Amino acid sequence: MGRLFRSEFLKLRKSSIWLLIFVSPILSLLLGLSEVGELEQNQWTATLSMITISHAIFFLPLLTGVFSSFICRYEHVGGGWKQLLSLPVSRRQVYIVKILIVCLLIALTQLLFISGLFLIGWMKDYSTAIPWGIILSSVFGGWLACLPLIALQIFVSVAWSSFAAPLAVNVIFTMPNMLIVNSATFGPFYPWAQPFLMMMPNSSENFGALNASTETLFIVILGSLLLFLSSGLSYFMRKEI
């Protein structure tokens, strides 16, 4: 597993994929700095709510597809899958490592996002205490909600050799997010809406570890993660290379 990780990082070292992790955090930072008239008692949560909208509704779901396509595109060129699987590694290890790499890239994006929030607070000299519980649970919840999307996008990226096809699928399901997140009927069960629902600060200052109901957490997020992961891994184990 360690050698596979090093191999993946060597392939990505000189690619432009590293620039993509800065896109959404930088745009969120600029959006937060342009905010005027924030509430004195809720400076941090008001800013977090505002910059979460574009970050979690559009960029996070889209980045899962972009990163997954990047991770798999080298193997789709010049018989890369045959070369990789001719090494003393199992298909299961290869598949899991690719998922973990994308998880790491999304985690880095989230860390930059939260850094941008703190930079906004420092530049605007927020006087209220930092609500660590709200901020950390929001960032972690957004990352957790991306796991099913990562599993699905790796599945699609492995199955299709085209770089654009997996991205097109992800865009098609991401674009309706603005409408679906406002739906009490469909929002809680739509996988692409979960990053926003998990990141958006709760109106209560004392919510639990994650901004999601038990039903959402176990049925939608963990359930879809197990479904997409098992389906993708099963397909890859049987795929003819």
Q: What is the pLDDT of residues 33-63, one digit of tens each?
A: 887 555 556 889 989 999 999 899 999 999 9
E strands of 161-215, at which residues? none
- Global pTM value: 0.90
pLDDT value at residue 26: 95
The Cα-based distances of 147 to 6, 47, 61, 109 in angstroms read 22, 25, 10, 14
| CB count in 10 Å sphere of residue 189 | 15
The Cα-based distances of 102 to 32, 79, 121 in angstroms read 27, 22, 29
pLDDT tens, 102-139?
A: 999 999 999 999 999 999 999 988 888 899 999 999 99
Q: What is the mean pLDDT of residues 201-212?
A: 49
Kindly list the domain boundaries of the chain, sorted by start residue. Answer: 2-238
pLDDT range class, residue 204, cuts 50, 70, 90: very low
| CB count in 10 Å sphere of residue 71 | 24
pLDDT value at residue 205: 41
3-state DSSP call for residue 90? coil
